[in-house]
Amino acid sequence: MKQYLYSVLIFALTLTNLNIASAKERKAAPKEIVIENAEMRLVLSSNGKAISLKHKPTGQECLEKGANVPLCSITEYRPYDNEYFLTFPAKQKILASDTIYRVGDELKVGFEFSAYTATIKLNITDSYIGFKLSGLDYKIEAFGEKRRTEIDEFTLLQLPVQKRKYFGEWLNVVWDNKVAVNVLATDPYAKIDGFKEDRYIKLSAGMENNVKLMGVGAALITTSTNKLLDRIDQLEKDYNLPRGVESRRCEAYKYSYYELRDVTPQNIDEHIAYAKQGGFHMIVIYYPDFATSMGHFPWNSKYPNGMADLQTITRKIKEAGMIPGFHIHYSKAAKDDPYVSPIPDPRLNLVRTFTLRESIDSHSTVIPVEENPENCTLDDERRFLKIGNELITYQNYTTTPPYQFTGCKRGELNSKISSFEKGFKLGLLDVDTWPLFIRFDQNTSIQQEVAERLGEIYSKAGFQFVYFDGAEDVHPPYWYNVSKSQLIVYNCLKPAPLLSEGALKSHFGWHILTRANAFDLYRPEYIRPATKKYPAYDARYIAQDFTSINFGWNNYLAPSNVTIGMQPDMYEYICSRGAAWDCPIALMGKLNHIKEHPRTKDNFEVIRNWEEARIQNFFTEKQKEELKNLDQEHILLKNETGKFELHPYRQITLGNDSSSVIRSFIFRRDNKTYVVYWHSRGEAKIELPLGKQKIQLFETNWKEIPVPDNNGKVIIPANDRRYLVFNLSQKRVINLLQNAKIIQ
């Protein structure tokens, strides 16, 4: 008891001494600390808070007054100091900064209930102000022994930024048409976030001890919005980051791409010809076309000459004036890859770890374990256990003692069956949700190994674009491992890609994934509602991060007995929504469907028109706003002089064609009523009850087609896409077409 009272007394003296020291520091230091460059003036209070951030050119205050947000903080997942955990419960505790003073280009920061003093190095430039944790001093001004306590998380910078019109969550930027405030990482180890409060958005930069604490940095940019990318560009150069701004500004950033399917050296010329019809400037190769598995990427039988065959394909793409791209998986291995079968690599990730409760031999079909398997996956093809070099599948497990995996099959994926002693460790293999792949342990060297293999393929083949697929297939912490795995691969790609896309993004990945994700494929019958719900929403959201998305992937399906197939109006809708936000599309080039589809020429003409117009910056800001109305559809046509025209249009039905075999859309142009129409599956004829003097028929290149008169009625062909032109009102034309007859 005496010893305990003595400890308490020592602890009280310690706090007193610390408070005295803190008071002396506050008295000696100015009450306000000013950090500024040519564009911003950040003011900190000596008691540990940011109290003002002004954009100098406009004089605008950017922080919420009275928010009482500490600039820095220390997070402990439970109290670690001996005296503190005797007082406080075992739960997360955040220790706020309560002292700040400046010594040259360093900030000294003290914290409540803590003996730590942090040193934050400042890097003040005309473009940004950098902050980096460069020291953590731990002092106890008292007698007795006291150990240095842990830090689980450290918040380097925290600002209550006033809300503005936009908040880019990925880039972590608050902005409107005048001013932008951005807190972003200067290395991949900084944990960047933004928290929406009632009156402000708390922009935060910090780090986790299980990733890295010391030497981690972030930067603050406060600038005119039209200069933000210039400031980030300078930061990327100064800190040797991937050139995200340069990529977003390159000409290729505008390009849509044609993604190859089942490509070989023998059919690449056909693919290129169709890609040209669609106006594509980029062609992407998916690795399964040449490799038998993800991981080691062994050549398949269609590429008997290996790299020479792949080089033939990329050479022909370049000779056609297009950019070759590489669609990869990179953070996992296929089940039939040498990383998994027959000997599973020890660097494959394990979701859970278990301990054998009893020994098992080669015939055991029940695996007894010490730990409760509850919540282990029961998804088909994902129930894999790894024990030593053996893979075992299970049917089920018990969640009450004795714990065990039941219905086990031994030696799966050609692994060797073995016996194991009591106490041996085993793990639940991290199988992805496809479920075709096994995820990598990102704390090991396997990601670097695969990255180097991918880098060799990329460089030798001459690729210039990369799609980072399966980016979600990493383990926690996701904020770090998503972009870490991408960065490892990116650093092996020489020269650096002109641009890249990916399936999942984290903050640092803004510099790597310079166009955001493409969505998976939708059936033609649901393409409009799916486009509205997903890509169109995403484009508006990601635009706040000064980034476009890809309005893909878009399937190429010919009509069949189960689908109408992809039609010109569907591509018109997809491309027009993309143009609203300056976004490209991606098309899956399936040769068999392209050849079978009766309207391929028309489909590719629609795509080409939108691609050319968007690349040429044809659309005005007013037109882009009109295109953002997702319920109003538009047609883009080339007029008689070869210039683009944009018109709103809507679908109508001909006669009794309830299944829309004839797809037709009406719009007004030059005080006349136009109907664009075609047969979705083949050909037929349409009988209209009017004389030929009131109607004209044109090919899409404006070549006029004679319309024969048949006793006051006209019969027109229905196959390829054409224009009907009437000197009548839309209402009269609609009434007329409702009485049309389709002659098969």
Question: What confidence tens digit (pLDDT) does each residue in 408-420 have?
Answer: 999 999 999 999 9
Give the residue-averaged pLDDT of 312-325. Answer: 98
- Prediction pTM value: 0.93
Give the residue-averaged pLDDT of 565-590. Answer: 97
- 694 — pLDDT class (breaks 50, 70, 90): confident
Give per-residue pLDDT as tens, 368-397: 999 999 999 999 999 999 999 999 999 999
Q: What is the CATH number of the domain that holds 704?
A: 2.60.40.1180
Residue where a domain stops, chosen among 461, 482, 511: 511
Q: What is the CATH number of the domain that holds 462?
A: 3.20.20.70
Cis peptide before 401 (omega within 30 of 0): no
Domain assignment present for 340? no
In whole angstroms, what is the distance from residue 351 CA to residue 426 CA? 11
Segment holding 326, helix H or strand E: strand 323-329
Instruction: Say whether both 155 and 195 belong to one domain.
Output: yes
Smallest Cα–Cα separation from 178: which of 129, 228, 220?
228
Q: Which of helix, strand or coil describes residue 127?
A: coil
Domain assignment present for 393? yes
Give the residue-averaged pLDDT of 159-186. Answer: 98
- 453 — pLDDT class (breaks 50, 70, 90): very high
- 6 — pLDDT class (breaks 50, 70, 90): very low
Give the residue-averaged pLDDT of 287-294. Answer: 98
Tokens of 694: 């009131």
- 437 — pLDDT class (breaks 50, 70, 90): very high
Give per-residue pLDDT as tens, 699-719: 999 999 998 877 878 999 999
Instruction: Say whether both 506 and 466 belong to one domain.
Output: yes
**pLDDT the model gives residue 148:** 87
Give per-residue pLDDT as tens, 683-692: 999 999 887 7
Tokens of 290: 């040449």
Cβ-count burial 501-529 (b if 16+ within 10 Å, e if not): bbbbbbbbbbbbbbbbbbbeebebeebbe
Residue where a domain stops, chosen among 467, 486, 511: 511
Instruction: Say whether both 654 and 576 belong to one domain.
Output: no
Q: How far apart are the first and last CA of the chain?
A: 102
Q: What is the CATH number of the domain that holds 367?
A: 2.40.10
pLDDT at residue 402 is higher than 70 = yes
In whole angstroms, what is the distance from residue 376 CA to residue 388 CA? 19
Instruction: Say whether both 595 and 654 belong to one domain.
Output: no
**pLDDT the model gives residue 543:** 97
Domain of residue 447 covers 253-334+441-511
Instruction: Say whether both 33 and 158 belong to one domain.
Output: yes
Q: How many domains does the chain have?
A: 5
Residue where a domain stops, chosen among 405, 429, 453: 429
**pLDDT the model gives residue 145:** 64
Instruction: Say whether both 151 and 56 belong to one domain.
Output: yes
Give the residue-averaged pLDDT of 565-580. Answer: 98
Q: Centre a 10 Å sphere on the Cβ of residue 483 and count the other Cβ atoms it contains.
A: 28
Give per-residue pLDDT as tens, 609-645: 999 999 999 999 999 999 999 999 999 999 999 999 9
Whole-number percent of the chain with pLDDT over 90: 89
Tokens of 296: 């080691």
Measure Cα distances from 55 to 60, 309, 350 in Å: 5, 56, 49
Mean pLDDT of the chain, nearest integer: 94
Residue in the block written with tokens 């991606």: 586
Helices (H), 29-107: 82-85
pLDDT at residue 19 is higher than 90 = no
Q: Which of helix, strand or coil describes residue 66?
A: coil
Instruction: Say whether both 207 and 268 belong to one domain.
Output: no
Give the residue-averaged pLDDT of 662-688. Answer: 96
**pLDDT the model gives residue 9:** 36
Instruction: Say whether both 106 and 148 belong to one domain.
Output: yes
Instruction: Say whether both 209 and 90 belong to one domain.
Output: yes
pLDDT at residue 237 is higher than 80 = yes
Instruction: Say whether both 156 and 97 belong to one domain.
Output: yes
Bridge partners, residue 217, by sequence = 132
- 138 — pLDDT class (breaks 50, 70, 90): very high
Domain assignment present for 590? yes
Q: Centre a 10 Å sphere on the Cβ of residue 622 and count the other Cβ atoms it contains.
A: 8
Cis peptide before 288 (omega within 30 of 0): no
Whole-number percent of the chain with pLDDT over 70: 95
Cβ(50)–Cβ(61) below 8 Å: no
Domain assignment present for 492? yes
Instruction: Say whether both 542 and 670 belong to one domain.
Output: no
pLDDT at residue 14 is higher than 60 = no
Helices (H) and strands (E) in the chain, counts: 15, 41
Domain assignment present for 296? yes
Give per-residue pLDDT as tens, 472-508: 999 999 999 999 999 999 999 999 999 999 999 999 9
Domain assignment present for 385? yes
Domain assignment present for 719? yes
Give the residue-averaged pLDDT of 539-561. Answer: 96
In whole angstroms, what is the distance from residue 122 CA to residue 107 CA? 7
**pLDDT the model gives residue 3:** 41
- 28 — pLDDT class (breaks 50, 70, 90): low
Domain assignment present for 344? no
Instruction: Say whether both 478 and 571 belong to one domain.
Output: no
pLDDT at residue 172 is higher than 50 = yes
**pLDDT the model gives residue 303:** 98
Task: Return the DSSP state at 335.
Answer: T
Q: What is the CATH number of the domain that holds 156?
A: 2.70.98
Residue 598: Cβ-neighbour burial (10 angstroms; 0-12, 13-18, 19+): middle
- 658 — pLDDT class (breaks 50, 70, 90): confident
